């Protein structure tokens, strides 16, 4: 068997690749390094991460849960948008991928952890490298129970993506993602618990870098029994926002009084139910304008607006330009 490529010093502790091109970004040996190996395996002999790659299945139903996972994916353009009710983390070693998130382009750069709420329609429309990347999915109820800073939670739940501004954190993430994949794949309860704690700590560090305010952001505290109710409201909105909805409809979906539902929603999302519903409809319209030739009237009606005039007014207010101009500038 070919001699195992060695990692030394701090690189050995963090699985940073050596410079002789014999290991990949997760510390796994390249085919050249394992040439002639008498013990082939479907896992990395160094870190135990499975070699099988995930890819998006276009026949997968919307909102089918992934659960708490961390897996390696093959970067490829997606045939359609995906939606699932988890927070999604992406980490790339090289290149970049570009999503259409809601109706806006969002790029995930190499070495920069990115997070977004995957209930927002997201579709990979461009890739820069075929190098596999890591995807972690975090159930929304668990995410809300972490009591992360409210401004961070609000950004994600309003459909914004958050990425790591500090390039130096790449060393940490290069080690963490293979470790989480290994721990969650093996199914050992203690290893899984360790991974959950590390994910929470990593999210807390990412949240600390969100926003420009020097004041320490207050943790989101919505009560121990409320995250599941908030998740129900969020799921109901994400699956029904194109329909005619009232606050009563949304509150009923979570088993809450309308006034209480509005208060909890605003505390969690940082906006009102009606403002959030309107933003989801606008995002839907943005995606249709950017990816299809659907007539603007049909875009308005299919996005949940009752009239073209109302749609034009709201779209121009939120996007700063009328739908026709948006289509010309953002066509995919």
pLDDT for the residue numbered 111:
96
Do 77 and 195 lie in one domain? The reply is yes
pLDDT for the residue numbered 47:
46
Q: By residue range, what is the domain housing residue 39?
A: 1-45
Do 98 and 203 lie in one domain? The reply is yes
Its sign, for the CA torsion 239, 76, 210, 17, is positive
**pLDDT tens-digit readout, 83-111:** 999 999 999 999 999 999 988 899 999 99
Specify if 63 maps to a domain.
no
Q: What is the CATH number for 248?
A: 1.10.10.60
| Total domains in the fold of the chain | 3
Do 229 and 202 lie in one domain? The reply is no
Give the Cα separation of 73 and 177 in Å (integer): 12
Helix (H) or strand (E) holding 138: strand 133-139
pTM: predicted TM-score of the whole model, two decimal places: 0.75
Do 167 and 285 lie in one domain? The reply is no
Do 79 and 196 lie in one domain? The reply is yes
> In 3-state terms, what secondary structure has residue 55?
coil
Residue-level pLDDT, tens digit, the chain, 332 residues: 444 333 333 333 333 333 333 444 444 444 444 444 444 445 443 444 446 799 999 999 989 999 999 999 999 999 999 999 999 999 999 999 999 998 889 999 999 999 999 999 999 999 999 999 999 999 998 998 888 998 899 899 889 999 999 999 999 999 999 999 999 988 789 999 999 999 999 999 999 987 544 444 444 444 444 678 888 898 899 889 999 999 999 999 999 999 999 999 988 888 899 999 999 999 999 999 998 999 999 999 999 999 999 999 999 999 999 999 999 988 87
> In 3-state terms, what secondary structure has residue 146?
coil
Selection from 23, 118, 127 nearest residue 65 by Cα: 118
């Amino acid at each position: 068997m070919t001699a195992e490529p060695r990692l030394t010093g701090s690189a050995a502790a963090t699985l940073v690749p050596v410079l002789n091109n014999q290991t990949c970004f997760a510390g796994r040996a390249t085919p050249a390094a394992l040439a002639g190996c008498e013990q082939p395996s479907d896992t990395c002999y160094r870190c135990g991460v499975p070699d099988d790659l995930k890819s998006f299945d276009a026949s997968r139903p919307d909102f089918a849960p992934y659960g708490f996972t961390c897996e390696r994916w093959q970067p490829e353009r997606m045939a359609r948008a995906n939606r699932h009710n988890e927070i999604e983390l992406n980490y790339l070693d090289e290149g970049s991928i570009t999503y259409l998130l809601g109706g806006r382009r969002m790029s995930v750069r190499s070495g920069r952890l990115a997070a977004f709420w995957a209930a927002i329609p997201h579709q990979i429309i461009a890739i820069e490298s075929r190098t596999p990347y890591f995807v972690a999915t975090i159930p929304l109820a668990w995410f809300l129970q972490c009591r992360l800073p409210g401004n961070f939670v609000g950004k994600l739940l309003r459909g914004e993506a958050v990425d790591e501004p500090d390039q130096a954190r790449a060393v940490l993430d290069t080690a963490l993602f293979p470790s989480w994949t290994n721990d969650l794949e093996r199914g050992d309860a203690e290893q899984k618990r360790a991974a959950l704690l590390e994910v929470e700590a990593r999210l807390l560090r990412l949240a600390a870098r969100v926003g420009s305010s020097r004041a320490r952001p207050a943790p989101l505290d919505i009560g121990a029994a409320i995250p599941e109710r908030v998740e129900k409201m969020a799921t109901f909105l994400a699956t029904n926002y194109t329909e005619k909805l009232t606050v009563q409809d949304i509150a009923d979906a979570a088993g809450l009084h309308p006034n209480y539902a509005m208060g909890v929603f605003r505390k969690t999302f940082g906006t009102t139910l009606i403002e959030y519903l309107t933003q989801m409809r606008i995002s839907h319209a943005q995606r249709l304008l950017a990816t299809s030739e659907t007539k603007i009237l049909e875009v308005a009606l299919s996005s949940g607006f009752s009239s073209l005039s109302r749609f034009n007014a709201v779209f121009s207010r939120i996007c700063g330009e009328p739908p026709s101009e948006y289509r010309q500038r953002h066509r995919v």
